[in-house]
Structure 1
Amino acid sequence: MKKDSFELNQDQTVATQCPEDGNCTFEVLENKSLEKLKGSLGESYYKVVEGKNLLLRFQYERNQIPNTVDGHYIEQVFVELDKNNLEVELNSVNSKKIRVVFARFCYCKGQTGYYDIDKGSLIIKKVEGNKYQLDFYFKITEVPQIITEIHEIFTLN
């Protein structure tokens, strides 16, 4: 069973169902971009930096399991868009027109980090004025995931 449990920024309506065992947040970050970096062991990771794009960030954070060390679990999804071209309809997100990234943080040896999303469909359409609707269905093949779809309505300033 899932619940609606969210923290909101700005004037946003949240429609994504959040798993009962955690909390979900959705943020619209204007004038930001994702920068891909390499760690000391050669692993790739992303950093949110100042930029010219619009960055959408969805996060699911599972409640801590009592009496466990390293019991945290977080999934994040980033969608980076050209803020001058927000309406998108992609039946295959591997089109390279936009950047979509999945991140998984947990004590899961060999199954944590950042992954480019290349399977799924993404639709962002204007509802009215500065209000947009996001519908995103996706699948990661490299690691297990809990969140497989995101439905949000957001407003830009």
Structure 2
Amino acid sequence: MKNIILAFLPFLLIACASKKGPAAFTEGKCRIESRCPDEGNCGFEVLKDKSLIIKSDGTGKPYYTLEDAPGKIVARYTYAAKSGKYQDDAYTEEVIFETDSELSNLHKSNPKDAKMLFGVHCFCRDKAGFYKVGKGLLDYQDNKLIIKLQDNIVEGQKTDLVMVSFK
């Protein structure tokens, strides 16, 4: 009996090992640690094997589409304000970026080289749309993602710091 237990011990240790590094980012459960702005809900999702394709519309404003791309990851954080009594008073902010499956570009002090956008979705003239992120921080260490955006990409911006931990 003792030999049988010893034979299965390595398999038990492997099965119970905690996930570290990229596997935790893509497969682990996440918890948003940063404060979610008042009167709203925050969410985070990781899309495996997707690539962020940034395009420009006729006015020069950026927008994105997603494409299948093995070995790439797209991550998206959203803040959605609870709407009030009016039909067109919805307000949502979105931070979306691409990385590779090894998370190699998530150790940058300046994310301008990364494919990263900040989006505002509302019925608000000259404010709605996507903006390229030029300054800030994009980092992943010890199973924690930190996104620090530059202040006031748009007037009244709610999202400036996002911290997400992975198990």
Q: Which bracket does the TM-score occupy, shorter chain normalised?
A: 0.7 to 0.9
Residue segments in structure 2 that go unaligned for 5+ positions in a row: 1-26
Alignment pair present for 1:124 and 2:135: no
Residue of 69, 72, 75 corresponding to 1:56: 75
CA gap of 1:42–1:99, structure 2 versus 1, over 3 A, is closer
Q: Could you tell me which residue of structure 1 aligns to residue 165 of structure 2?
A: 153
Question: Which whole-Å CA distance do the structure 1 matches of 2:105 and 2:128 have between them?
Answer: 31
Cα offset, 1:142, TM superposition = 4.5
Query: What's the Cα RMSD here?
Result: 2.1
Q: Which runs of 4+ in 1 moved over 3 A?
A: 38-43
Q: Which amino acid aligns with 2:138?
A: L
Q: Which has the higher contact order (CA 8 A, sep 6+)?
A: 2
Normalising by structure 2, we get a TM-score of 0.74
Cα offset, 1:23, TM superposition = 0.4
Q: Could you tell me which residue of structure 2 aligns to residue 112 of structure 1?
A: 128
Question: Which whole-Å CA distance do the structure 1 matches of 2:45 and 2:80 have between them?
Answer: 14
Query: Is the deviation greater in 49-58 or in 10-19?
Result: 10-19
Q: Would you tell me which structure has more helix in proportion to its own residues?
A: 2
CA gap of 1:89–1:40, structure 2 versus 1, over 3 A, is closer
Question: Which whole-Å CA distance do the structure 1 matches of 2:58 and 2:91 have between them?
Answer: 23
Alignment pair present for 1:29 and 2:47: yes
User: Could you tell me whether the CA contact under 8 Å between 2:62 and 2:132 is conserved in 1?
Assistant: no
Residue of 46, 49, 53 corresponding to 2:64: 46
Cα offset, 1:87, TM superposition = 6.5
Aligned-partner SS, 2:147? strand
Q: Work out which of the two has the higher radius of gyration on C-alpha atoms and give 1 or 2.
A: 2
Question: Which whole-Å CA distance do the structure 1 matches of 2:51 and 2:126 have between them?
Answer: 27
Question: Which whole-Å CA distance do the structure 1 matches of 2:65 and 2:34 have between them?
Answer: 25
User: Could you tell me whether the CA contact under 8 Å between 2:93 and 2:121 is conserved in 1?
Assistant: yes
User: Could you tell me whether the CA contact under 8 Å between 1:93 and 1:118 is conserved in 2?
Assistant: yes
Cα offset, 1:122, TM superposition = 1.6
User: Could you tell me whether the CA contact under 8 Å between 1:87 and 1:124 is conserved in 2?
Assistant: no
Residue segments in structure 1 that go unaligned for 5+ positions in a row: 1-8
CA gap of 1:45–1:154, structure 2 versus 1, over 3 A, is same
Cα offset, 1:56, TM superposition = 1.0
Q: Would you tell me which structure has more strand in proportion to its own residues?
A: 1
User: Could you tell me whether the CA contact under 8 Å between 1:86 and 1:124 is conserved in 2?
Assistant: no
Cα offset, 1:13, TM superposition = 2.1
Q: Could you tell me which residue of structure 1 aligns to residue 87 of structure 2?
A: 69
User: Could you tell me whether the CA contact under 8 Å between 1:34 and 1:48 is conserved in 2?
Assistant: yes
Matched residues, number: 139
Question: Which whole-Å CA distance do the structure 1 matches of 2:78 and 2:29 have between them?
Answer: 18
Cα offset, 1:39, TM superposition = 3.5
